[in-house]
Structure 1
Amino acid sequence: MKTLLLQIFTWWNGQTMGTRFHTWRHGTRVGDDELGNIYYEGGSDSEGRTRRWVIYNGPAEASAIPAGWHGWMHHRTDVAPSAETYVAKPWELAHRKNYTGTAQAYRPKGSILNQGARPHVTGDYDAWTPKS
């Protein structure tokens, strides 16, 4: 019951009621990933392509889509990773949670939230001033 109420009143927890209805009416399950996200396709988008969508396992976070599924979702390939023996390239990194807005977020040197000092200006940059 709690899950159903979350889906009715929030868009970031799993799927909305509109997505649930669209999935039931038009969706064909294509596969799932190691994070528990489920991928569907069905119907057509405004450009005539087959519509593809994901139902997240947990909060909706776009960075939680693995590289292989990302390519399929954005029509870079017509073959879903579940339909082939997809192997990640050596340069593809595993998913890392998005830490924006948390204490673990990236804070470069010079950031007001970073304890370190701002790097010294080397002199190869002159700030713009009017009428210069």
Structure 2
Amino acid sequence: MIRRAFAIILVLHGLIHLIGFVVPWRFATLDGFPYTTSALWGRLELGATAAQVLGLVWLGQAVAFVVAGVGVWRGSAWAPALAAAAALGSLVVCALGSPGAAAGLVVNIVILIVVGPGRARVLGRPSVER
């Protein structure tokens, strides 16, 4: 039950990362997430091209979280490590995307606490996968 709930949280967190992709590429306009070419609370000007490159990083993070969520759902031993790596990477992109992505910083810290040392067995099978 806990494993499945965590898997759903990972997938949802990954899907939310798609905002960081669709907005700079102008595939969508979303209330509360305006198009911008700046990062780090407006302190770093990226320009349109770099903002789109960062959007691709957001897309990669989305894929990583969805794959980690599916892995956690299935009880795969590799999934907690992928979730941790995705959360670490997401800390960086959420910081760059703040203030709009500031809530993601908190979610990533929670994910890192959940998959921390000694807790990963709850999320994945203790078996060795080939």
Asked if Structure 1 and Structure 2 have the same fold, meaning a TM-score greater than 0.5 normalized by the shorter chain, the answer is no
- Higher RCO (C-alpha 8 Å, min separation 6): 2
* Larger Rg computed on CA atoms: 1
Instruction: Give 1 or 2: higher strand fraction.
Output: 1
